[in-house]
Amino acid sequence: MNHLPEQVKFMFLIALIILIMFAGFIVMVVMVYKKKQLVFQKERLLQDIQYRNQLLEKELEIQMKVQEERERISHDMHDDLGAGISALKLQAEFIKQKVDDQSIKDDVDELLKTAGEMNLSMREMLWSLNSTNDNLGNFMQYVIQYAESFFKKSSIKILVKRDVNSPEAKLNSEMRRNLFLCAKESLNNIYKHSKASEVSISFNLTHDEVFTMQISDNGVGLGENKNIGYGLQNMQKRMNDVGGKYEICTTKEGLCLFFVIKI
């Protein structure tokens, strides 16, 4: 290269400089493009986050409105229906005191019984509508109170076991209502058909948030109770509706019913 003319050396140097500048320009263009791509991706991500936040805010707003509507219906039922049923019972009691005909008194007693059942049903609906009860602790307590009240005038003993470390865990109203109706149907079947002396109610919550309610008795089992098939089918449907499972476990003594749900 030392033998090349100075003009050729100069031209070669110029070409080399131009090549380096061109390479630098290409590198700069690529870096700017990548930077713009990164900025664009960040903007898209930010837009996605903002969109999801908007959806979440709308969902929370809808939930708040639903909760407010539930509470309004609950208050209206308590004030209107509750007062109406109480007035009906008072009028029936007043009529019963004024008549001497035993058949009329029997009819009034039936009316009072119906009013009592209506009042109980209304209380159950109020409980299911009240959003403050949407947790495992309140659900378990209500089932236990119902069982104690239901078997109060019978000789059946109630045993309760709770293995739930997080009673504050949320249980939405649909799950809560269907689980309670399953428990109610189970206890009714035990009272009518089992001839049991003991009823065991167990609650369990696993670490992966699977909640189990088990209701068992020491009665005659399923073999002699052919006429409770519709009740069992209803329980199966209710658990399917909330994505849960329902199992029957027959033993030498009595019957076990398992209700399993992911909360």
Question: Do 145 and 127 have their domain in common?
Answer: no
Question: Do 192 and 219 have their domain in common?
Answer: yes
Specify the pLDDT at position 109: 85
Domain of residue 151, CATH code:
3.30.565.10
Q: Which two tokens stand for residue 217?
A: 């008795």
Give the domain extent around 22: 1-131
Tally of domains within the chain: 2
**Domain termination site, one of 108, 131, 154:** 131
Question: Do 122 and 155 have their domain in common?
Answer: no
Q: In this structure, how many other beta carbons lie within 10 angstroms of the beta carbon of residue 156?
A: 21
Question: Do 88 and 165 have their domain in common?
Answer: no
**Domain termination site, one of 102, 131, 160:** 131
Question: Do 56 and 75 have their domain in common?
Answer: yes
Question: Do 160 and 81 have their domain in common?
Answer: no
Question: Do 113 and 225 have their domain in common?
Answer: no
Question: Do 85 and 106 have their domain in common?
Answer: yes
- Per-residue model confidence as pLDDT tens for the chain (263 residues): 555 567 777 787 888 888 888 888 888 888 888 888 888 888 888 888 988 888 888 888 887 777 777 777 766 666 666 677 777 778 888 888 888 888 888 888 888 888 887 877 778 878 877 878 889 999 999 999 999 989 988 899 999 999 999 999 999 888 999 999 999 999 998 998 888 999 999 999 998 899 999 999 998 877 655 455 667 888 999 999 999 999 988 777 888 999 999 98
Residue labelled with tokens 């299911």: 128
Question: Do 210 and 118 have their domain in common?
Answer: no
Please state, in angstroms and rounded to a whole number, the distance separating the CA atoms of residues 16 and 256. 89
Specify the pLDDT at position 94: 81
Question: Do 4 and 58 have their domain in common?
Answer: yes
Whether this prediction's pTM lies above 0.75 is answered by no
Specify the pLDDT at position 77: 65
Specify the pLDDT at position 143: 95
Question: Do 143 and 201 have their domain in common?
Answer: yes
**Domain termination site, one of 131, 161, 196:** 131
Question: Do 120 and 149 have their domain in common?
Answer: no
Residues of 116-144 as b/e, b for ≥16 C-beta within 10 angstroms? eeebeebebbbbbbbeebbbbebbbebbb
